[in-house]
Amino acid sequence: MTDTNPTIGNDQTMKVSFEFFPPKSPDMEGQLWETVKALQAVSPDFVSVTYGAGGTTREPTLATVRRLIAETPLATAAHLTCVGATRQDVQAVVEEFRAAGVRHFVALRGDPQGGVGSRYEPHPGGFENAAALVRGLRDMGDFEISVSAYPEKHPESADDAADIDMLKRKVDAGATRALTQFFFDNDVFEAYLDRVRAAGISIPIVPGIMPIQNLTQLKRFAGMCGASVPDAFDRRFAAVEGDAQGRAAVAADIAAEQIADLKRRGLDEFHIYTMNRAPLTLATLARLGVVGAKDRTEAAA
């Protein structure tokens, strides 16, 4: 398929950050480090590494963070959750990350131990929620602390007001940035941002961007986390059914169009969920004219 929309911008100043997850196999480890090498050329503001609820990826996360800090110039943030852990457990993990050179945490409550959709129960002696975790981190050191935000409401929040109240509690506890759950309707995000600002929350609210590696899998994941996926995406991908290169081009177009529209609305910082794959992220950034991004769309679908 011929790419009919190679560039929709020419941006040398836009800030981007990337999320990675710790690899679960030697093959996945190789893929991660190839991705890191490719995306390093973009000079992201920072990168983050996820951390499983209850510390299920503690050692792989720590190993990945250590290598990023030791072998790359990338500012590296470590995700941290409080599910299934005492305060002492969390503090011990923080000290390990601090010793590795981490000065930026992405503080999250984490999914319930029974999985998404099950009832969350705070661990006895642990941090009861993300706001308490942020306060605990702030008491432990002068860290940069990012937290989560939900343009379409966290599935467990009673309503939008309760959701924004939780964000405000995290900010009041010491959070310095919010990274949003992925979304695709920029009108929804703009309305959410208006409500956030009206609540007196002034920290940066950074849009989370999810380039679509696989539409079917994305829909399944979106259903679990309360995000909506436009019906128009089905039609766009149906037009390139059976064409891997075409699917990758459509996915990059969608992500670049979303970012370009958000920039027109005054946003200049974006957090990209890479899924440990470089081609689609690079193709998206190349369409936006970001320095260091080469237009590579192969094998992204």
Per DSSP, the residues of 135-164 read: HHHHHH---EEEEEE-TT--TT-SSHHHHH
Q: What is the CA radius of gyration of the chain?
A: 19
Tokens describing residue 179: 């990274």
19 is annotated as an active-site residue: yes
Give the active site residue among 19, 121, 190, 269: 19
Of 154, 19, 35, 142, the residue nearest 79 (C-alpha) = 19
The span from the CA of 299 to the CA of 95, in Å, is: 39
Contact call for residues 290 and 260 (beta carbons, < 8 A): no
Cβ 107 vs Cβ 133: under 8 Å: yes
Q: How far apart are CA 191 and CA 56, in angstroms?
A: 36
Active-site residue set: 19
